[in-house]
Copies of this chain bind each other. A is one copy, B any other.
Amino acid sequence: MEAAERRRLSGELRSVCMRVSRRARFENITDLAPHQFSVLNRLNSESSSPRKLAQIECVSPPSMTRTLTGLEGRGALTRTTDPLDRRQVVVCITEQGRALLRDVRRTRDEWMFERVRCLSDQECAVLSEAQLILEKVVAR
């Protein structure tokens, strides 16, 4: 495939991915803000500290304090002092937090599934292959 054609494809793909993303997010009011979801999602993999979370999320420490306070107030995470270095705080997701995360994912996925279920087997096969390629694209 020529470079010009690839450039056109890139633009179209980027555009359609953004529209899928936008609709899956906006058409489902999950009452969990994007930054809250992102932090909770991160904590689902492993516990962390406010500072590390702020760095990973590219947000200032005070902003992260606020985000954590909100999630803590909803029982989605706990903040405890690190016994080895009492300056640090250990942030852990709770079972309630995990449940919240599952709800959000389910709601978003539901939007997509409603549409994918109407496609032909052949179309699904193409999307299945495409998904693997896009994983490679986004991994870089």
Binds B, one of A44-52, A64-72, A86-94, A111-119: A111-119
Report copies per complex. 2
Considering only CB atoms, which chain B residue lies closest to A23 in the complex? Answer: B138
Known: A16-B131, A16-B138, A130-B126. A112 touches B23 (CB 8 A): no
Is A21 close to B, CB under 8 A?
yes
If A3-B117, A6-B113, A14-B24 touch, does A133 touch B137 (CB 8 Å cutoff)? no
10 CB contacts below 8 A, A to B, read: A1-B124, A6-B113, A9-B127, A9-B128, A11-B113, A17-B20, A18-B25, A21-B21, A26-B58, A126-B129
* Contact indicator A131/B21 (Cβ below 8 Å): no
